[in-house]
Amino acid sequence: MASSITRWSLAGRLFERRCAGVVAQAALAAVLALVCATHAVPAAAAGDLSDGDKTCLGCHGQEGLTKDLGAGATLSLHVPGDAFAKSVHLPLGCAACHADTKLDNHPQTTKTIRSARDYSIAMVEVCRGCHDDASRQHEGSIHAARLKAGNERAPVCTDCHGSHAILPKTAYDTCVACHATAMSGHQKWLPNAGLHLEVVSCAACHAPAPKRMVDLRLYDGAARKWVEEKDGAPEFEKLARATDTDGNGLDATELRNLMAQINGDATLPPKTLRGRIELRVGTEAHQLSEKTRAIKECASCHQHGAEPFQTVTVSITSPAGKPVRYNAHKDVLNSVLSVESLREFYAVGGTRNSVLDLLFILAVLGGLAVPIGHQIMKRFVQRQLALEAANQAAAASRHAASGAPGASGDDGDAPKPK
C-alpha cells in the first residue's frame, strides 16, 4: 500500500490529505468547539474558512499563544486567521499538514520539541509529502548542503515560503530577506546592478543549470505595480487564446492586438509589458548553487541568440500572486510592431529591435557629434587665426624688404623742412 501511495500524483496526495483532514477536523471540532467557544475567529477569515479550520483558529487565532519548550524558550502557536485565509494552502485546511493531530492527544502535553528551529526543520518532511519535485530540487542546493553539514541557520521550506500565510513571492523579495547585502555586493562588479536585480531573477544566475526564459508581465506604470487579474473573473488567458488565431503562441501582430484590447479604455493609463529573465520551470529555483558557480558572463544574455531569449511568455499576476502565462514567439522581442508594447524591456545585444537599434545608433552619434564638432570647430578657428597671423607677418616682412617709406622708421623720400 505504501509503495502505491508514493506513485500517486500530486493531485492524489492532496486529495488523500484533504479527506484525512476533513475526518480529523470533524472529530476535533466536536470537542475543541467546547474549549474554544469563547474565542472569536478573526472576522477577515470567517467567510473563507471551513468549519474545521474555524474551530482550530478558535484557539490558535489568539495572539500570544505559545508552547513552553523549557529553559525560557517558547514556540509560537499563533496562526493569524486573516493571513491563513489568503494562503495558497487554504483549500487544504489545517489537518492536511497537521495530520498527526488526533482527537485523543490534542493538545499534546508530552510531545518533546527541542527548539522552534528544530520544529521548522522537521516540518520539511511534511512539505515533501506534496512537493516531492521541489524537495528533490532542493536536495542538491547549497542551502541543503549547509543544512546537512550542521548549519541550522540554512533556510528550509518555511523560511522562504512562510508557514501559514503562504503566498507566492518574487524571488528577489525572498532572497534579500536573508541576503541583505546582495545589492552592495553586486555593485562591486556588476554594471547597473540595480537594474539587473530588477529585471533578472536571482535564480536565473544562481541556479546556472536550468533553462531560462523571458517573461513579459503586464505592468501599470501609473500605479507603479503589476497588473492583477480580477478575483473570480479570469479574462487574460481567454483573451490571449482568442487573439492567438493559429494557436501556436502570440506573434508580434497578435501581441500588438492583445495589448490594444487590454488598453481599450482610453480614459485609463496604458498598460505595458515589463520583461524579466526567469527560469522556465519555477521549481528549479530550488537548485541554488555556490555563488562561485553563478553566471557572471555578460555574453550569457547580451549577445544575439542568447539562450534566455529563445523562450518567451506573456503573463498577468493572478489574485493569488502567481503569474498566469501564455506562450509567445521569440520574435516579438525583435519586431518593430512590439516597440510600443515592450518599451519597458530592451537588453543590449540580446534583443535586436531594428528601430531601437537605429535610435541607439543615432543617440550615440548625436552624443559624439557635440564634442567632436566642438573640437573640429576649435581646430578650424585656431588654424584660421594662425593662417591670418602668418599672412600678416609675411606682408610686414615684404614691406620691410622693399624699402617702403616708414619701413625702417625714417622718412624716406619725404621732403625735408627748410
Q: What is the pLDDT of residues 359-389, one digit of tens each?
A: 778 888 888 888 888 889 888 888 888 888 8
Mean of pLDDT values over 325-338:
87
pLDDT at 176 over 50: yes
What are the grid coordinates assigned to 73, written together? 524558550
* pLDDT in the model for residue 392: 86
Q: Is 99 exposed, middle or buried (0-12, 13-18, 19+ CB in 10 A)?
A: middle
Q: What is the dihedral of CA 107, 110, 115, 120, to 10 degrees?
A: -50
* pLDDT in the model for residue 373: 84
> Whole-angstrom Cα distance, residue 272 to residue 216?
9
pLDDT band at 265 (very low <50, low <70, confident <90, very high): very high
What distance, in Å, lies between the first and last C-alpha atoms of the chain? 147
Please state the domain extents for the chain: 2-167, 173-358
How high does pLDDT run on average in the chain? 81
> Whole-angstrom Cα distance, residue 189 to residue 205?
14
- The single-letter code of the amino acid at 288 is L
The per-residue b/e assignment along 156-186, b for 16 or more CB within 10 angstroms, e otherwise, is: bbbbbbbbbbbeeeebbebbeeeeeeeeeeb
What are the grid coordinates assigned to 378, written together? 576649435
Crossing angle of helices 10-36 and 51-60, in 10° steps, is: 60
Mean of pLDDT values over 212-216:
95
Sole residue written with cell 556588476: 190
> Whole-angstrom Cα distance, residue 404 to residue 389?
21
pLDDT at 300 over 80: yes
**Is pLDDT larger for residue 416 or for residue 191?**
191
> Whole-angstrom Cα distance, residue 170 to residue 172?
5
> Whole-angstrom Cα distance, residue 162 to residue 158?
4
Lowest mean pLDDT among 1-5, 78-82, 364-368: 1-5
